[in-house]
């Protein structure tokens, strides 16, 4: 595995949540900077030593609601 993909969403309260695609890795944080640290830490904890992918890709999702 060369990289792992996380879907990042901003919650209503301004915090951020990230979930890995294809792996049971989930984390959250109050800021994007903190989320980056949390994601790196979660990836290192999930994989055995030396088995973590060298790249972490983040896909930011923004949801909007339009009323008529």
Q: What is the pLDDT of residues 3-32, one digit of tens each?
A: 999 999 999 899 999 999 999 999 999 999
CB neighbour list of residue 13: distance below 8 Å, 6 or more residues apart: none
Domain that holds residue 40: 3-61
Domain presence at residue 53: yes
Domain presence at residue 29: yes
Q: Could you give the number of structural domains in the chain?
A: 1
The sign of the CA dihedral 34, 48, 18, 24 is: negative
Domain presence at residue 68: no
Task: Look at the block and give the residue holding tokens 């030593």.
Answer: 49
Q: What is the pLDDT of residues 26-64, one digit of tens each?
A: 999 999 999 999 999 999 999 998 899 999 999 999 887
CB 60 within 8 A of CB 16: no
């Amino acid at each position: 595995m060369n990289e792992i993909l996380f879907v990042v969403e901003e919650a209503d309260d301004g915090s951020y949540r990230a979930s890995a695609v294809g792996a049971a890795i989930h984390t959250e944080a109050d800021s994007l900077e903190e989320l980056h640290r949390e994601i790196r830490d979660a990836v290192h904890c999930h994989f055995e030593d030396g088995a973590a992918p060298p790249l972490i890709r983040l896909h930011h999702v923004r949801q909007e609601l339009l009323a008529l």
